[in-house]
Amino acid sequence: MLHFESHITTSRISIDAVARVAAGLAPFFVRQETFFQEVVVSQIVAERLVKSYDVPERGGGLSGLFSMRTRKVYALKDVSFRIERGELLGYIGPNGAGKSTTVKILSGILVPDSGECRVDGRVPWSDRIAHVARIGVVFGQRTQLWWDLPVIESLDLLRDMYGLSQAEYRPWRDVLIERLDIGSFLQQPVRQLSLGQRMRADLAASLVHRPGLLFLDEPTIGLDAVSKLAVRKFLMELNRDEGLTVILTTHDLDDIETLCRRVMVIGEGRVLSDGSVENLRRQVSDERVLRMDLRDAAAAEAAATNLAGLPVRIVSREGGRVVLRFDPDTIPPTELLRRITERCEVTDLFIEFTPIEEIVAQLYTKHQAASSASVVPAEGAV
Partner 1 sequence: MNGGESAEEGGAAALSKPAHSAPAREPRPAGLKPLWAVTRARFRMLLRYRGAALGGFITQVFFGLMFVMVYRVLYEGDGAAEGAPMELSQVVTYLWLNQALFAMQPWQPDPEVRQMIRTGSVAYELTRPCSLFWLWVARAIAMRSAPTLLRSVPLVAVAMLFFGMQLPASPEAAVLYVVSLTAALLLSSAITVVLNSSLFWTMSGEGITMLMPAIVMTLSGQNIPLLFYPAWMQPFMAWQPFRGLLDVPSRIYTGSLPPDRALLEIAGQFAWCAVILAIGHWMVHRGTRRLVVQGG
Closest CB to partner 1 among 16 and 237? 237
Residue 115 or 328: which CB sits closer to partner 1? 115
Shortest Cβ 235–partner 1 spacing (Å): 14
Other Cβ atoms less than 10 A from the Cβ of 135: the count is 21
Structural contact between residues 80 and 274, judged by C-beta atoms closer than 8 angstroms: no
The answer to whether 75 contacts partner 1 (rule: CB under 8 A) is yes
Cα–Cα dist 176/202, whole Å: 11
Count of residues touching partner 1 (by CB under 8 A): 58
Sole window of 28-36, 205-213, 258-266, 286-294 interacting with partner 1 (rule: CB under 8 A): 205-213
Cβ contacts of 251 within 8 Å, gap of 6 or more: 92, 218, 221
The span of 173-181, 302-310, 336-344, 374-382 binding partner 1 (CB under 8 A) equals 173-181
CA separation for the pair 363, 265 (Å, rounded): 9
**By C-beta, is 90 or 108 nearer to partner 1?**
108
* DSSP codes joined into one string, 75-97: EEEEEEEEE-TT-EEEEE--TTS
x/- letters, 226..255, toward partner 1 (CB under 8 A): -----------x---xxxx-----------
**Interaction between residue 304 and partner 1 (CB under 8 A):** no
Query: Does residue 78 touch partner 1 according to CB under 8 A?
Result: no
Q: Contact between 101 and partner 1 (CB under 8 A)?
A: yes
Distances (CA, A) of 91 to 100, 199, 320, 371: 10, 19, 39, 21
Q: How near is the Cβ of 182 to partner 1 at its closest, in Å?
A: 13
Q: 111: number of CA atoms within 13 Å, CB side?
A: 5
DSSP string, 145-200: S-TTSBHHHHHHHHHHHTT--HHHHHHHHHHHHHHHT-GGGTTSBGGGS-HHHHHH
List residues binding partner 1 (CB under 8 A): 53, 75, 96, 98, 100-101, 104, 107-111, 128-130, 132-135, 137, 139, 141-144, 146, 148-149, 152-153, 156-157, 160-163, 166-168, 170-175, 177-179, 186, 189, 209-210, 212, 237, 241-244
